[in-house]
Structure 1
Amino acid sequence: MSVIEEERVRGGVFKDINPEDEDQQPTVIESLCMNCYENGSTRLLFTKIPFFKEIIISSFTCPHCNWTNTEIQSAGRIQEQGVLYTLQVKTKEDMNREVVKSDSASTRIPQLDFEIPAFTQKGSLSTIEGLLDRAVAGLEQDQPIRKATDPAVAEKIEEFIERLKKLKKVEEEFTLIIDDPSGNSFIENPSAPQKDTALTVTHYKRTPEHNAVLGIETEEEEDDRKPVNDLDTMRNEVLVFNTNCPECNAPANTNMKLVQIPHFKEVIIMATNCDSCRHRTNEVKSGGATEELGTRITLHLTDPSDMSRDLLKSETCSVLIPELEFELGMAALGGKFTTLEGLLKDIKDLIVSKNPFMCGDSSTADRAGKLELFGQKIDKIIAGEMDVHVILDDPAGNSYLQNVYAPDPDPEMKIEKYTRTFEQNEDLGLNDMKTEGYAEK
C-alpha cells in the first residue's frame, strides 16, 4: 500500500477545503522544468471538493524561465456510471457556469463540429468561458509555425478561432456537451434548487471500451460457490461481502438483505459502514422487474404525522414539489428506503449543505440567500407548517409510498399508472432490450 493510500485510510491526506485551516499546507517537491530543463518546484495539495470527490491540485513554477503550469487530477474513485452533460448556452450568464472537467472527459460543440477528445487535456476547475479560452489558446499555440509552413491550414484554423471567440460572446446559441465515462465531471446549475431547463444530465452504463480506456479490469472472476436458489433462505439471511468505503477507500463490509414491503413488492437493501471514517451509506435496489407501466404517486401533506410514512425511492424515481418549483432528477440521491422526513432532509443536505457553490469564491449573496430560503422552506414542510404536494414519478414503477389507511384507499394520496414515452424507455434502456426470440431454430 502506498503512502497516499495509507494516509487516505487514516483520513490524514485529503481534507475539506478550508481557507482558515493553517495545517492544510501544500507539499513542495523539486522537479524538472520541461521548458528550460532546469530544476523548479511543484506544490501538491490533497483536498476534497463536493461533487468531485478527492482531488490533487498541482502547481509548478520555474525560477529560471518563469514558466508555470497548474493541473487538477481526480484522486477519488471512478463512479459506477458515466455521465453526459448537455448544456444549451443561450446567454452571457451561462458563460459563468462553473465546470469540473476530469482528464477522461471529452468536450463537444456540435454546431462547430468541434471536439476535445478525452485525455488530451488535464483536469480543470473552470467556467464555460474558461473552457473556450483554453481551446482558443491551444489552437493559437502553433499558429506562427503553421503560417510559415502551411498558410492554407493556418488560415482555416484562424477562421475557426474567430468562430470560437464569437461563441464566447454568445453572438449565437450553441450546445456544449461534456461526456465523462468516469462520472467525475460536473456543470453548475445556477438555478438550484429549481430545475435547470438548459441543462440535461444523463447517467449511463459504461461499455467495455470505456472500461478499457479507464484502466478498469473487466475479466470475469470464477465463482465456484453454489448459487442460492432458496428464496426463503435469502429472506432470512443477511449477506455480507467485502468492499471499499466510497469516502476514504478503506476496506469495509456491505450488508445485503431481501425485504418484503407490505402491499408492494420485494426489494434489496444494502448498507455499508466504515470503521475508519465512520461513513455510513445505504442503497435500495428493486427485487423485481421493470413494470409495464410507470407510476406517479402524489401525496398532499396535511399533518406532521405524514413525515413518518415509509418511502421507497428507486434509482429511476424523480421527486417534485410543485409549490417550491423544485424537481429532483431520477439519478440524484440514488435508491433509498427511508421515511418522507428522511427524504426531505436528504434533499436539503444535497441542495444546501453539500452544495459546492455555497462556500468560498463560488458563493454569491444572491445564490446563498436563495438556497438558504429553500432550506428554511424544507424545514417548514417537515414541521407541518407548509401545505404542499410531494410527487414521486417513477417510469420503472418501482417506487412506493406508505398508505397509512391500507388496505383502504388513502384520501390524501393519488396513485396514477401511465404509459412510458419513447424517451423514458430510452433512459431505462428498454428500447434496445430483446427478451424473446432466442430459441434455436
Structure 2
Amino acid sequence: MCSVEQKPVFRDLTGEDPDPEVTEIESLCINCHANGMTRLLLTRIPYYKNVVIMSFSCEECGYENNEIQPGGAFAELGVRWKLQVESQTDLNRQVVKSDYTSVKIPELDFEIPAQSQKGEVTTVEGIVSRAIAGLTQDQAQRRVEHPAAAEQIDAFVLRLQALRSPGAPWTLELEDISGNCFVENPCAPRRDPRCVRDEFTRTTDQNHALGIFTHDEVSDTPSVLTPAESLLSPADASACSYEQLAADEVMSFNTNCPDCNAPATTNMKVTNIPHFKEVVIMATMCEACGHRTNEVKSGGGIEEKGVRFEVKIRNKNDFSRDILKSETCSMELPELELEVGGRALGGRFTTAEGLLRATADQLRDSPGVGGDAPAISAGLKDFVARLERVLDGGEPVTVVLDDPAGNSYVQSLADDPTQPDDGLTITRYERTFEQNEELGLNDMNTDSYQQDT
C-alpha cells in the first residue's frame, strides 16, 4: 500500500511552506456578471484560531472583494469585547470580525447590527472607515432627493471621522454570539490595560440563529448517546456510575484535531486523584500535524464555593507539587505581570513546573515571537527568557490559581495533609452573580441571585 504524507489542514504562512494550497474557484462577478476567480486559503491567525480567507477578483471590470470565515466550529460561549481607544496604537489594533459580530460606539449612539456585514480581518480604524464608506455611498443622489437627511448624515460622518484622529477617548464594543471575534493585545502576553473580554452563555434564540439545535428540537426520536457522551452526560446514574466506568478500559472515539482540524482520535479514562475527586482525563494526538493535548475535566459537578490557591515557587521541591487546573481556572503570576484565562491552557493534571513549562512553550511557539510587530516580538522574547529563569530556579515566583467552579486542586507538601503548608494558601469564597452566570448557574432560586436582586 502506498502512503500519502498528511499535512495540517490549517497551516501557518511561512517561507518554508511556499505552496500554501490556495484553492481557486471560478465564480460569477456580482458587478458585471462576467466570470471571476475566488481564491480560498486555510490558515491560522496568531492568538486567535483557524480561519478561511476568501478573495474574489474580476479581470473584466476590476471588482475585488474579500471576507473571512471561521475555520472551526462555533465557540461554546459568546464573547464581548470592550476597548477604550486612546491613541494611534489602539486605532492600529487588528480586529477579527465574523458575520455575527455587532459593533457599538456608545459615545455616538452608533451601532452596526450583526449579519449586516461580512466577516473580515481589519483594524479599529478600518471599522470606522468602512462605516464612513457605507454612510457616504449614495450621498450624491441623497442630496438631490432628500437634502435634509443628507445633511444629517454629513454631520454624523464628521463625528466618525474625528474618531480616526487621536483625541478624546472613545469606546468600541463588539459582541459576537458565535464567539469568533478577536481584538489584538499589543501588550501580549501581559494583561491588556484598555480592553476587557467577557464571555456569556447563548440563549436558545441565539443558538437557533447560528443553526444550533438539540436533537430533541429537530426530531421526535429520543437521542442515542455515544459511549463518550454517556460518560460525560449519563442518562441513568445507576447504570453508568463512575465506579463502573473507572473499572473499564480506556475509551476511544473519533474527533478532529483542535489545531489543524484533521481527523484524530481521543482517548478517555476516568481516574481518581487522592484527597480530591474523580476526574476524566482526555488525550488527543494528531498524526497530521503532531499536535498533542491532555485535557482534564471534573468528574463531578460545580462546587458550592469557588477556590483560590496561592502557590509560592522558591525551590525545586515546590516545582514538584501536583496541580489539577480545570478549564474554568485562571492563572496569574504577579511578579511577571501575567494573567492567563482558564481556556488558554485548558484543563490539565500536571506539576507546578509542568504548568509553567506549558505556558513558556505556548508563548515560545506562538507566531508573535517572530511576527511582523518588532515591539510585540521583543516583548514576548524577553518575557519567555524571564520565565525560563524562573524554571531554572533563578527567580522566585507566586502562582495564583482562581477557579470559580471549585474544581481545581493543589497538592500540599506538608507531612500531614491536615497541617498548614507555608508555601500554599487556600481560600474558598462565595461566587458573584456574574461568575454564576458564566458557569451557567442562572437559576433564579440561587442564593447569589437573591442577594444581588
TM category (shorter chain) comes to 0.7 to 0.9
Matched with 1:94 is 90
The answer as to 2:407 corresponding to 1:394 is: no
Q: Structure 1 431/210 Cα, relative in aligned 2: closer, same or farther at 3 Å?
A: closer
Say which SS state the counterpart of residue 302 (structure 2) adopts.
coil
1:351 and 1:186 map into 2 onto residues whose CA distance is 18
Q: Structure 1 277/327 Cα, relative in aligned 2: closer, same or farther at 3 Å?
A: closer
TM superposition shift of 1:122: 1.8
Q: Count the aligned residue pairs.
A: 426
Does the 8 Å contact 1:45/1:58 carry over to 2?
A: yes
Say which SS state the counterpart of residue 258 (structure 1) adopts.
strand
Tell me whether 331-340 or 136-145 shows the greater mean CA deviation: 331-340
TM superposition shift of 1:211: 2.4
Residues 177-219 of structure 1: per-residue CA shift (max 9 Å, x gap) = 2222222221111112221122111222332222222223422
Q: 1:338 aligned to 303, 326, 350, which one?
A: 350
Q: 2:365 aligned to 329, 353, 368, which one?
A: 353
Say which SS state the counterpart of residue 159 (structure 2) adopts.
helix
1:330 and 1:54 map into 2 onto residues whose CA distance is 20
Matched with 1:434 is 445
* Amino acid in the other structure paired with 2:224: D
Matches within 5 A, 1:186-265: 186-220=182-216, 222-223=223-224, 227-229=236-238, 230-237=241-248, 238-265=250-277
1:391 and 1:19 map into 2 onto residues whose CA distance is 39
1:435 and 1:240 map into 2 onto residues whose CA distance is 38
Instruction: Provide TM-score, normalisation by structure 2.
Output: 0.85
Q: 2:310 aligned to 284, 287, 298, which one?
A: 298
Q: Structure 1 232/72 Cα, relative in aligned 2: closer, same or farther at 3 Å?
A: closer
- CA RMSD of superposed structures (Å): 2.7
2:257 and 2:85 map into 1 onto residues whose CA distance is 37
Matched with 2:380 is 371
Matched with 2:391 is 382
Say which SS state the counterpart of residue 129 (structure 1) adopts.
helix
Does the 8 Å contact 2:327/2:347 carry over to 1?
A: yes
* Amino acid in the other structure paired with 2:330: S
Residues 286-338 of structure 1: per-residue CA shift (max 9 Å, x gap) = 23343333322112112123222211112222211111111112342222222
TM superposition shift of 1:367: 1.8
TM superposition shift of 1:357: 3.5
Matched with 2:110 is 114
2:147 and 2:49 map into 1 onto residues whose CA distance is 45
TM superposition shift of 1:374: 0.7
Residues 368-406 of structure 1: per-residue CA shift (max 9 Å, x gap) = 111111101111111111111111122332211111224
* Amino acid in the other structure paired with 1:396: A
Residues 328-372 of structure 1: per-residue CA shift (max 9 Å, x gap) = 123422222222122112222333422x443443x22x2211111
* Amino acid in the other structure paired with 2:184: E
2:271 and 2:33 map into 1 onto residues whose CA distance is 63
2:35 and 2:251 map into 1 onto residues whose CA distance is 55
Q: 2:413 aligned to 399, 404, 410, which one?
A: 404
Q: Which runs of 5+ in 2 are unaligned?
A: 217-221, 448-453
Tell me whether 40-49 or 102-111 shows the greater mean CA deviation: 40-49
- Identity among equivalent positions (%) equals 50
Matched with 2:219 is none
* Amino acid in the other structure paired with 1:381: V
The answer as to 2:11 corresponding to 1:15 is: yes
Does the 8 Å contact 2:215/2:223 carry over to 1?
A: no
Q: Structure 1 164/387 Cα, relative in aligned 2: closer, same or farther at 3 Å?
A: same
Matched with 1:105 is 101
Does the 8 Å contact 1:52/1:74 carry over to 2?
A: no
Matched with 1:37 is 33
Q: Structure 1 207/135 Cα, relative in aligned 2: closer, same or farther at 3 Å?
A: same
1:302 and 1:43 map into 2 onto residues whose CA distance is 54
1:329 and 1:265 map into 2 onto residues whose CA distance is 23
Q: Structure 1 267/16 Cα, relative in aligned 2: closer, same or farther at 3 Å?
A: same
TM superposition shift of 1:10: 4.2
2:10 and 2:279 map into 1 onto residues whose CA distance is 35
Does the 8 Å contact 1:208/1:218 carry over to 2?
A: no
Q: 1:280 aligned to 283, 287, 292, which one?
A: 292
Does the 8 Å contact 2:42/2:50 carry over to 1?
A: yes
* Amino acid in the other structure paired with 1:384: G
Matched with 1:59 is 55
Does the 8 Å contact 2:86/2:167 carry over to 1?
A: no
Does the 8 Å contact 2:99/2:116 carry over to 1?
A: yes
Say which SS state the counterpart of residue 70 (structure 1) adopts.
strand
TM superposition shift of 1:422: 4.2
Q: Structure 1 264/20 Cα, relative in aligned 2: closer, same or farther at 3 Å?
A: closer
TM superposition shift of 1:275: 4.3
TM superposition shift of 1:130: 1.0
2:53 and 2:254 map into 1 onto residues whose CA distance is 31
Instruction: Provide TM-score, normalisation by structure 1.
Output: 0.87
Q: Structure 1 13/418 Cα, relative in aligned 2: closer, same or farther at 3 Å?
A: closer
